[in-house]
Amino acid sequence: MTSTIEDAEKWANDGIGALSISLVRSTDQTAQLGKTEQNLVACFHPKFVYPIFGQEETIYGYQDLDIQLQFDSSSLKNYLSIQYKAKLPESSPVKPDEIEETLYKFIPPDYTKSEETFKKEIEETFEKGFIPPGEKISSYRPNHSKGKGKSNPTQKLEPWVKCDSEEDENEEEVVYELWAANWKTPGFREYHRRMQVFTLLYIEGGSYLEEDDHRWEFVVLYERRKRRTANSERRYDYHFCGYVTLYSFYHYPSSIRLRLSQFIILPPYQSCGHGSMLYSQIFQYLLKRTEVAELTIEDPSEAFEDMRDKEDLKLLMKHNVFDLELSKLIPVDREWYLATKEKWKLADRQFSRLLEIALKIRLSLEETDPKVERAYRIAVKERLYRFNYDSLVNIPKEERRERLQQTFEGVMEDYDRIISGERRWQLRGYGDIHYAICEPVEVLAQI
């Protein structure tokens, strides 16, 4: 029995380790990369493969299996290579998994298995020039500030800043651009079919979208790099970094509520602050759209919630939203609450949490009456009771109080974590009062 198991195991391959992904650039584009940028063209692995190869994420029937799924970093055209040291013989009672046949169901059929053809296609895309489908809605660049200015004491901590003008963009070697699209955008449907496999590989429980559902919107993030030309002609190359999907719902009486459904930053661009910038720029883009009443998030991960809280707090504090007298915030003035929540297009729970975090920060920095602190605790517990009403209403009063207190303490611990910064977060200041807000150095921005 032992020898049989050992024999079977030598033909089993970890699907995550066996599948390597890379974003390939043309020869000239690769040569343009600096030493610290080589990771942009290096291989990386998926986070999940169970949607493709099954729950065990195991590929059976091969030894030393190496699957290369390469993408043109601009057009996202595919090259597929499947290599192995040995394959189960035809006489084996157990047949090896059909790798290409399985992958064929999830990637566009126009992929190539010829490396020479793939390289030729990349060079052709480079010569022709790739322009993203859709409409550019925002851009950001590296922050070159060397110190903290009086107008912005935290400028040094920001790795990226929004481009204020076309001139601001044109001065940069590398700029990151956000392009909005939908199913009606010329060329986007085909482009989405190439990029959608990342949903399966990097979002737990991710699935493909229905192309006949017109309510989907997309924002794609690109690295735009200035091309070096002999005649100083201004040309740019675009490289895929990640994307966001948004789904619209009717919002009474005549607007829409957008739900952020999928959010992906590919591994070569993670841990650099791109997730925070992508989210914040999308949020500010939606604030300008009069037909959008609210932005919600579908089943966010803890890492995404942390990033979202930080960005939302940063934006609201930048505009001094919480710089009112405490008497108007504890307990909160209902008219102000509803008007402010509507103005910033935030869901009720998210705005309540942001208010509670901001108040906790103020209470920790300002000398306040103990009655105010008690009123704060009561206000938070009232919200938690409403939120957990179904699970609390039918239990004995004393047990209800105990559970509510436990929930309150858990929420306060979470707020303390966000404020004080475990996970290598740094403090920063905003507004007239220097609020202690956290800035994550490293956040995996994906759900």
Q: Which residues are annotated as a binding site?
A: 263-265, 270-276
Catalytic: which of 124, 210, 298, 366? 298
Based on the number of CB atoms within 10 Å of its own CB, is 32 exposed (0-12), middle (13-18) or buried (19 or more)? middle
Is 298 noted as a catalytic residue in this protein?
yes
Distance CA 253, CA 257 (A): 11
Place of tokens 């607007």: 255
Distance CA 339, CA 46 (A): 43
Annotated binding site for acetyl-CoA: 263-265, 270-276
Asked whether 311 and 280 are in contact (CB, 8 A), the reply is yes
- Residues annotated catalytic, as ranges: 298
